Structures are given as C-alpha cells and as structure tokens.
C-alpha cells in the first residue's frame, strides 16, 4: 500500500541522501553548523551497498531518491554518498537543478579539504564504483597540478559498518589490509560516508605523520557558506528531522543512532513501486515461500 506523506514537512527541509546509514555522519555535521534547519534524511539501505553496482543502476537509484526528497518539499538536496556524488552528481544537477532546486555533492569539498591538508601525496579510500570513476582525483587536479593522488577501493568496509561490526577484529584487520595498500602518503581521505565510524581503526594503523581526513566537517562548512548565499533554498525551520529508509526501519533506528550520535525520530519506510520510491507502511514479511498471483 502506498500513502501520501503522513507527516508532510511544513517548511522547506534540506534533503540528505545516502545509500544507507553513512550519510548520517554528514547530517550530524550539517546539524552541528546549521541546527535551525529542517532536514529529511533518505537512506536507501534496502538497496545498499551501491559501491559494487554498475553506473546505470546507481543513476536509476539516485533519480528515485532525489525525486522522493523533492516530493517531500526539499528544494536543496545534499548527496552525502561519495559513490553517487562521484558518478551521478552531474546527471542529477542537469536533470533536476534549477533556480528553484539544487543538488549538491561531497566530492569538491572533499578534494578541497585534501588539498588544504596534504604535503603532496593524498591517499583516497572509497567504494569500487567511486574509485573507478576517478572523480576525486579529477577534482584534486583542478585545484593543484602537483598534489599526487593514490586511490584504493575498499569494498568490504561499508558492508561491515552497515552490519554494525566497526568495533570488531574483523573490521580492524580489513582496515589494516586496505591501509597497507598505500605507498608514501601523508593524508588519507575517508572517501565513503561509512568510514568515519572506522576512523579510530585507521588512526591506529596508519604510520605516524599520516593525517586521517573525514571530509564531512568540510562538507558542512561549505554548505553553510553556500546556504548563506541561497537562504530561500534552505530557509531556517525548527530543527526538525524526518528519516526515510528503504531498509528495515527498526534496524535503521537502532544502528542509525551510532552514526548520528543521538536517537533518531520514528523512521518512515519507503519502497520502490513502479519505478518510484513511495512512502509505504513497513509490513512484516511473511515467512516461507511466496507464490505470486
């Protein structure tokens, strides 16, 4: 069953979109710098991870998610997911962007933060799709002709964090194995919204003198500057948060609090219906085999 929004947002919330939980680490920073804004967070957990998917699928999912957020009254959407930002941001901006509606990403703030921090050699860790795009490296090159970028894909890490296993030996071993693939870097960029939950594990394994960089605070800082120039697209509200997830909403509420650093409001379920993401009640899955009519 599909319903219209049961809790229509009274103002103009800012949409924050990620493939799953990870973007809550970005939302946390946005709320820190702009607590007076209303936000709608969309986590596409039911279809995560995105990082190993083909480009067309990422574009399709991204279209559905931003359309849902525009349907919730957002005029500005922050694509917190590095995978979507690196592969689909330009497409989303061309398809949906206007004087009335904006879609913003995380790659340029991440590149700016990396160039500001590095002494010359940046290591960038992301999903397989993010790394295959080389979008981060392209953005760094626009800012500096001399900064070197080494990119490594870490396909195991986001699923580990989605599972809530970030504080386990398995996660620490995986982190050490990926970190060891970099050469003589001086700055390691956590190029996936899930990785900040592994930040401590990264700090423990990188050599002394290597800075571990979570781009989320810079994303939020840049967003606050942008928003000061576009107040009508992201007006002050009452600090209200709505959370939509295509995954298991009870699980989202439980795990999400770790990413956001505080309890979540009741999570609303969304699901794909006829090529669109619709709000729909979370009905219990029947056990056993299902025969379609």
| Positions that interact with ligand DGL (CB under 6 A) | 18-20, 22, 48-51, 81-83, 127, 130, 158, 192-194
CB of 66 to ligand DGL, least distance (A): 15
CB closer to ligand DGL, 82 vs 222? 82
Q: Is 280 a catalytic residue?
A: no
Q: Is 192 a catalytic residue?
A: yes
- Catalytic residue, chosen from 65, 74, 86, 192, is 192
CB closer to ligand DGL, 64 vs 233? 64
CB of 206 to ligand DGL, least distance (A): 20
Q: Residue 120 — left, alpha, or beta (φ > 0 → left; ψ -120 to 50 → alpha)?
A: left
CB of 38 to ligand DGL, least distance (A): 23
Q: Enumerate the β-bridge partners of residue 211.
A: 187
- Catalytic residue, chosen from 65, 74, 81, 86, is 81
Alpha carbon distance 84, 130 (integer Å): 8
CB closer to ligand DGL, 119 vs 177? 177
CB closer to ligand DGL, 214 vs 233? 214
- Report the 10 Å Cβ neighbour count for 208: 4
Contact 194, 21 (CB under 8 A): yes
CB of 217 to ligand DGL, least distance (A): 15
Catalytic positions, written as ranges: 81, 192
């Amino acid at each position: 069953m599909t319903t219209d929004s049961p809790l229509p947002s009274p103002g103009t919330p800012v949409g924050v979109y990620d493939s799953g939980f990870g973007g809550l680490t970005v939302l946390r920073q946005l709320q820190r710098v702009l607590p007076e804004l209303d936000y709608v967070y969309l986590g596409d957990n039911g279809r995560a991870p995105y990082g190993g998917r083909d480009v067309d699928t990422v574009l399709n999912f991204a279209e559905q998610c931003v359309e849902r957020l525009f349907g919730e009254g957002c005029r500005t959407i922050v694509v917190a997911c590095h995978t979507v930002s690196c592969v689909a941001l330009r497409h989303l901006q061309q398809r949906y962007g206007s004087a009335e509606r904006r879609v913003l990403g995380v790659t340029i703030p991440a590149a700016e933060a990396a160039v500001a921090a590095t002494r010359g050699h940046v290591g960038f860790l992301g999903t397989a799709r993010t790394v295959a795009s080389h979008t981060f490296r392209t953005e760094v090159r626009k800012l500096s002709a001399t900064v070197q970028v080494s990119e490594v894909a870490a396909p195991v890490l986001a699923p580990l964090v989605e599972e809530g296993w970030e504080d386990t030996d398995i996660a620490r071993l995986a982190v050490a194995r990926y970190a060891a693939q970099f050469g003589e870097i001086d700055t390691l960029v956590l190029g996936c919204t899930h990785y900040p939950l592994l930040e401590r594990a990264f700090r423990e394994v990188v050599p002394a003198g290597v800075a571990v960089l979570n781009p989320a605070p810079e994303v939020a800082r840049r967003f606050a500057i942008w928003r000061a120039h576009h107040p009508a697209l992201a007006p002050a509200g009452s600090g209200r948060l709505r959370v939509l997830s295509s995954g298991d909403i009870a699980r989202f509420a439980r795990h999400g609090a770790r990413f956001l650093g505080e309890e979540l409001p009741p999570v609303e379920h969304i699901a794909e219906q006829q090529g669109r993401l619709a709000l729909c009640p979370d009905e219990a899955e029947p056990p056993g085999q299902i025969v379609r009519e």
